[in-house]
Amino acid sequence: MPDNNRQSKSSCVSQGFTLIEMLVVLAIVALLLTIAVPRYFGSLNKSKDVALQENLRVVRISLDKFYADKGHYPETLDELVEQKYLRSVPVDPITESSQTWILVSSKDSEVKGVVDIKSGASGQTFDGKSYDGL
Distance between CA 60 and CA 66 in Å, rounded?
Answer: 10
Q: Note the pLDDT of residue 128.
A: 84
With a cut of 90, say whether residue 106 has pLDDT above it.
no
Per-residue pLDDT of 6-27, as tens digits, reads 555 555 556 778 999 999 999 9
With a cut of 90, say whether residue 64 has pLDDT above it.
yes
pTM over 0.75: no
Percent of the chain with pLDDT over 70: 90
Q: Note the pLDDT of residue 129.
A: 87
Is 134 in contact with 118 (CB distance < 8 Å)?
Answer: yes
Which is higher by pLDDT, 40 or 69? Answer: 69
